[in-house]
Structure 1
Amino acid sequence: MAPVVLVHGIFNHVRGATPEQAALRRGADCRPKLTEGFAEARLTVGAPQLVVAYYADLLRVDAPKQAQAAGDDASFEDLTSVQRGHAAEWLAAAGAPVPQDPQNVGLAPLRQMLGWLFGERGGHLVGAVREQTMRRVERAIVANLREVEAYSSWPERRRLVRERVAEVIRKERPAVVVAHSLGSLVTYETLHAFPELEAELLVTVGSPLRVPSLARRLDPGLRGGRGAKPVGVGRWVNIADIGDIIAIPPKLGEVFPVDFEDTCDNGLGFHSFGGYLANGLVASAIAPYIS
């Protein structure tokens, strides 16, 4: 048994590896980052052993090309008209001005909206660094939209992903589950679908649960505009980077029954799982549960 289970988000498919091999590889990548976080928080206890619940391969089995994860060259141009509308909703939720005709969002408005956000949030970024960072955000939005579609549009795949994650949690019986990005949506649904699963602490990081196009697809759906805490979860902590456009709006507590939430600043690693794990806030949340 491992005291901590990690549920990954986008950009985690390991080509040519079995799910078991991929989970071990991702775990080997994550543990040094969590060790950094424990050192940053100056904790006397060392970073715990962890296991990754790996499911990225299931989002590719028999999936159409449009549902595959975004590659290095993925951009807004690769989205369908419906997905472009979802991307516009996403950027508007982050604070970008809504186009005059939101029902017919073209490619140019998406980049204009993203550029406006960087003018407001990333004014300190200039030149090539600004362009590279905007490109990374564009790729992340495209990848999230595609993987959410791959996960939620095919009921059988959704079931398989949930069962895979549930199997890991059931086997490891962790005190803590840390879910990142799309993994927070997967974990939320999995813990609701398998109410016998328990975790003393659920930590969501970089979570897009409040993004309109994702929130509409939740199972169970929101009731009266509110989400519910899975019955097996003791405490729920949410942490979002101040520059993480994927985690918008950053305060989940306005919609979900989060017990504690805070923001951090991971610099240019604003949405990376490693950036969050290396942050002392995450370590401080986990430490009391891993004696």
Structure 2
Amino acid sequence: MKRIVGIHGVGQHRPGLTVPQAASELAEVWLKALARGAASADARDLSVVYYADLLRMPGRQGGAQSLDDLETAEEESVRAWLRELDVPGGVPAGRATGFLRQSLAWLARSRGLGAQATEWFVSTFFREVHTYLQGYDGSARFRVRARIAETVAARRPDIVIAHSLGSVAAYEALWAYPHLEVDLLITLGSPLALPHAVFDRLEPEPVDGRGRRPPGVKQWVNLADPGDLVAIPPGGVEASFDGVDTDRSGTVAIHTFDFHFVANYLASPRVADLLRPGPD
């Protein structure tokens, strides 16, 4: 049986629960999703690293509810993201929340999404990304990475599965603690290659415009739904990072609308294939 450690994405705050309780609850969600993809037989030894509590700034809600809650730097990350999506009309500089809201409404309509849900997700995503990368005192990034490293060291997993922002935290943690060894890193819906907002702010810093597979990782497979609004530019991880196993990675259609939802990634046949036993 393979030992698996999961690293969750954004919007996973579990108020009222202790860290172990929240991690256990998330593990149950992941196991149910893996079972949908017929991967449960090889995924019972699974634990999920919970770190959302470390992204909660004192006196401030963790995930922004709307664009109005974002600070200037967070808004600029949204603008950079919209420019990558080539939203019609361009994205002006400066604080213009009304224009951003119109751009998101257009994006939601073009993708068949709800405008309110899209704004909530985008606001939450970029609030948590910014908090992780910079934080209110600069320590959130290091504490998240340390918690991931502690779990990986204790569990000694064969596989690490990291979703969304969790893929950024996992990538940096495996670089920061190079003694950690993992047979397979699977990143799902990853924003690692997102210019300006993520890629250019990674630690270690990309060299000559390229990142690299962490030294303790034997194999890295990246999966992204072609409609995933977070995993952009399309094919960016494979194009921007050395050591990604492109022969087994690429796009995977997980859902018509919920193309970033971790449960749909975990339930995909592609993930089940990766978790099936292979030769020692």
**What TM-score results when the alignment is normalised by the length of structure 1?**
0.85
How far off is 1:116 after superposition? 4.0
Structure 2 counterpart of 1:242, one-letter code: P
The answer to whether the 8 Å contact 2:43/2:275 transfers is no
Identify which range, 230-239 or 214-223, moves more after superposition.
214-223
Distance in 1 (CA, whole Å) between partners of 2:169 and 2:89 is: 29
Say yes or no: does 1:76 pair with 2:63: no
Once the two structures are TM-superposed, the CA of residue 65 in structure 1 deviates from its matched residue by 1.6
Q: TM-score, structure 2 length as denominator?
A: 0.89
For the pair 1:267 / 2:256, whether they are aligned, the reply is yes
Residues 1:135 and 2:120 aligned together:
no
Paired with 2:158 and 2:12, the residues of 1 have a C-alpha distance of 24
Match of 2:159 among 176, 189, 200: 176
- 1:8 counterpart residue number: 8
Work out the percentage of aligned pairs sharing the same amino acid: 39
In structure 2, the residue corresponding to 1:99 is in which secondary structure? Answer: coil
Match of 1:65 in 2: 60
Amino acid at match of 1:113: S
Asked whether the equivalents of residues 161 and 185 of structure 2 are also in contact (C-alpha less than 8 Å), the reply is yes
Q: Report the Cα offset of residue 46 of structure 1.
A: 4.5
What whole-Å deviation, never above 9, does each CA across 1:224-243 have from its counterpart, x for those lacking one? 11111100011111111122
- 1:229 — aligned with what? 213
Q: Distance in 1 between matches of 2:250 and 2:141?
A: 30
Identify unmatched segments of 5+ residues in structure 2: none
Q: State the shift of 1:105 in Å.
A: 5.2
- Residue 271 (structure 2) aligns with: 282
The equivalent residue for 1:240 is: 224
CA distance in 2, matches of 1:246, 1:275: 15
Q: Which residue of 2 aligns with 1:114?
A: 104
Q: For each residue in 1:126-154, what CA deviation from the matched residue of structure 2 results, as whole angstroms up to 9, or x when unmatched?
A: xxxx4x2x332322221121112222223
AA in 2 matched with 1:144? F
C-alpha separation in 1, matches of 2:213 and 2:23: 27
Q: Indicate how the Cα distance of structure 1 residues 46 and 176 shifts in structure 2: closer, same or farther if over 3 A, else same.
A: closer
Contact 1:202 1:235 in 2 (8 A): yes
Q: What's 2:181 paired with? A: 198
Partners of 1:69 and 1:147 within 8 A in 2? yes
* Cα deviations by residue, 1:45-94 (Å, 9 ceiling, x for unpaired): 5544211011111112x54526x213xxx122222233222101101212
Q: Secondary structure at the match of 2:179?
A: coil
SS of match in other structure, 1:269: coil
SS at 1:203 equivalent = strand
The question of 1:158 aligning with 2:141 is answered yes
| Secondary structure of the corresponding residue to residue 185 of structure 2 | strand
**1:217 and 2:207 correspond:** no
2:93 counterpart SS class: helix
Indicate the larger mover: 271-280 or 106-115.
Answer: 106-115
Q: CA deviation at 1:290?
A: 9.4
Q: Partners of 2:277 and 2:241 in 1: how far apart?
A: 23
2:240 matches 1:255: yes
Gaps of 5+ in 1: none
Shift of residue 35, structure 1, vs aligned partner:
1.0
- C-alpha change, 1:220 and 1:117, in structure 2 (3 Å) is same
Is 2:129 the partner of 1:148?
yes
Q: Is the 8 A contact 1:59 1:147 kept in 2?
A: yes
Say which structure is richer in helix.
Answer: 1
- Give, as a single letter, the amino acid of the residue that structure 1 aligns with 2:36: E
Structure 1 position 160, deviation (Å):
1.3
Q: Is the 8 A contact 1:2 1:51 kept in 2?
A: no
